[in-house]
Amino acid sequence: MEFLFIFLFILLAALFVTGGLVASRLVAPHRPGRVKNRPYECGNKSVGPAWVQFNVAYYLLALLFLVFDVEAAFLFPWALAFRGAGWVGFLEVLIFVGVLGVGLLYAWKKGALEWV
């Protein structure tokens, strides 16, 4: 029943977007032009596509994010049951977080966190 609602809301969002756009299509003007439909670059003619090689720092950031977000996902079960797990569980999580903390320090020292 509850998951049915998730699908219903996905449909509702689709309907909200398409309904609005279709209604807007009916009343809004539609006069495309060759110059008008070019990418906007403050009046300059754009040189080449925007799909080019990008700064590698973003990739490093994505890797770091992956590590720490997965860490957070792994911590959720512990957070729910840590009263039962007690100090032993706490110690284990300390080791787990510690390993990732050392990883963060390593990335820090290597300069992965510096934005050039």
Partner 1 sequence: MQIWSPLYRPSIWSFRTSIGNREVGMDMWQVTTLAARIQESLLNQDFVRAGIFLGGGLAATVAAVSLLGLVLVYAERKVAAHFQCRLGPMRVGWHGVLQPIADGIKLFLKEDIIPTEADRLLFVLAPFFCILGMFLAILVLPVSPEIQIIDLDMGVIFLAAVSGFGVFGVLLGGWSSNNKWSMLGAMRAAAQIVSYEVSLTLALLVVVMFSGSLKMSEIIQSQAAGWWIWRAHGVGLVAFLVYVIASVAELNRAPFDLSEGESELTGGFHTEYSGLRFGLFFLAEFINMVLASAFAATFFLGGWMPFHLGDWQAFNAVMDRIPPLLWFVGKTSFMVFLFMWFRWTFPRLRVDQLMALEWKFLLPVSLVNLLVGAAVVLSGFYFFS
- Which residue ranges make up the site for partner 1 (CB under 8 A)? 1-2, 5-6, 8-10, 12-14, 16-17, 20-21, 23-25, 27-32, 34, 36-42, 46, 49-51, 54-55, 58, 61-62, 64-65, 68-69, 72-73, 75-76, 79-80, 82-83, 86-87, 90, 93-94, 97, 101, 104, 108, 113-116
> 92 by DSSP, 3-state: which?
helix
Q: Which residue has the tokens 């219903």?
A: 8
Collapsed DSSP state (helix, strand, coil) of residue 31: coil
**H helix count then E strand count, the chain:** 2, 0
Q: What is the DSSP letter of 7?
A: H
State the nearest-atom distance from the C-beta of 37 to partner 1, in Å.
4
Minimal distance in Å, beta carbon 53 to partner 1?
A: 12
